Structure 1
């Protein structure tokens, strides 16, 4: 199991009744992107994202309505099953390439900057951040990356270069997480979008997310994501 560095920051207690009564998804601004800070944030129910596109101010977010994908609720169409047969799934063989593809400024809503890329590269070196990838004919055609802590997988972003490649990689991730602890694992996708909703993503209130997070953090890492730090 990876040894996690400490954090010099203390994040707000999201279970505080006064905080929970707020309707803002943005909880705090500032701190840094050191590995210990990031891991403490995820354990607290937060994730980082610039306050606005192009902003240098780092925001820490916890959606009032959190997007999660129940592992038994994934919707796989016949065409998606067919697409899965024509690609190869790999884990952690091209992490930096996946993050860089997700950061492409030409993508709608792109928010990943050089700071974010470097920060998650450090988490990857610690064995805490992972990529799941789709390959076809030796070419990377889709992927996603996220953070794994116990039974939590916090998805950060995904991309595709051919049709359905990002959907196929999400199916692969769900299969990795479906083990004897699947009922208590937590696949966090931050916000529910129409695209993600078509795959089975639902919204749950922040309080429910925090309760599920506390349970998930006590679980062992999924076998398919146990990577030696420094790989």
Structure 2
């Protein structure tokens, strides 16, 4: 018997199916179709839903149970990595190379994965979100110089006081960890408690991620996404943050 996936209509404000009411589909798959308009994407994230599909597939919308999150005060860096950071010249900045970060995330090889889910349509959609101040990146550079090489980064969507992580990459060992930890420290200082990490993986668990029941996740996301906080670039507020600051015991 073929699976009957709920299909979204053309109205970007059309409601998504209730995650708790969908039965008989792969865990977390809610719907297919629709588009990647800014309106639909922001509506999806506010409800704890995200797009995830491969080239040649229709747009697929997901809300896994359980959900994987990182507490912004709970990113775990090994003692060995912290020791390397003490003398590191790396510097973290925000929203200075969003398109490059997304491109590197799309190109980065993933164990057991052929191709990428960050399709050209997805890249264009998140670039639109970034241009409107809803999507952000944190970049880690090899040094403070204007022409320093990009060694790692992370990007995602921010709504209210909730950050929805999408992907990260490293071009030097530890680059993605430094980007994630820099982002988390900055968000924690501003009262943002969670980074959505979507789906569990050994790498995320090693960094301190934990899983929570979907119902709890959705309740908290609804409150955090409704909190005050408007769109806009983070470059000035984030500043230039030496990653050696992450070496302090946490």
Superposed CA RMSD in Å reads 2.5
Give the Cα–Cα distance (whole angstroms) in 2 for the partners of residues 221 and 145 of structure 1.
Answer: 18
Q: Which residue of structure 2 lines up, in the alignment, with residue 64 of structure 1? A: 65
Distance 1:20-1:83 versus aligned 2 partners, 3 A rule:
farther
Q: Which residue of structure 1 lines up, in the alignment, with residue 161 of structure 2? A: 151
TM-score by length of 1: 0.85
Matched, 1:11 2:29: no
Distance 1:79-1:222 versus aligned 2 partners, 3 A rule:
farther
Deviations 1:3-42 (A, max 9, x none): xxx933321133x4x3389762111000000111100000
2:97 to 69, 94, 97: 94
- 1:13 touches 1:44 (CA, 8 Å); kept in 2? no
Give how far 1:212 is off.
1.1
Choose 1 or 2 for highest CA Rg. Answer: 2
Q: How many residues align?
A: 217
1:120 to 95, 115, 126: 126
Give the Cα–Cα distance (whole angstroms) in 2 for the partners of residues 117 and 163 of structure 1.
Answer: 25
Give the Cα–Cα distance (whole angstroms) in 2 for the partners of residues 180 and 167 of structure 1.
Answer: 20
Give the Cα–Cα distance (whole angstroms) in 1 for the partners of residues 141 and 190 of structure 2.
Answer: 28
Task: Write the mapping of 1:1-231 to structure 2, written as runs, cut at 5 A.
Answer: 7-14=12-19, 16=20, 18-19=21-22, 24-50=27-53, 53-84=54-85, 85-104=88-107, 106-108=109-111, 109=113, 110-137=116-143, 138-179=148-189, 181-182=191-192, 185-221=193-229, 226=234
Deviations 1:137-171 (A, max 9, x none): 40011101000001110000000011011001110
Structure 2 residue runs without a partner (length 5+): 1-10, 237-250
Give how far 1:78 is off.
2.3
Deviations 1:169-221 (A, max 9, x none): 11001111113524xx3210101110010110011111011111122113233
Distance 1:124-1:178 versus aligned 2 partners, 3 A rule:
same
Partner SS for 1:90: strand
Structure 1 residue runs without a partner (length 5+): 1-5
Give how far 1:73 is off.
2.1
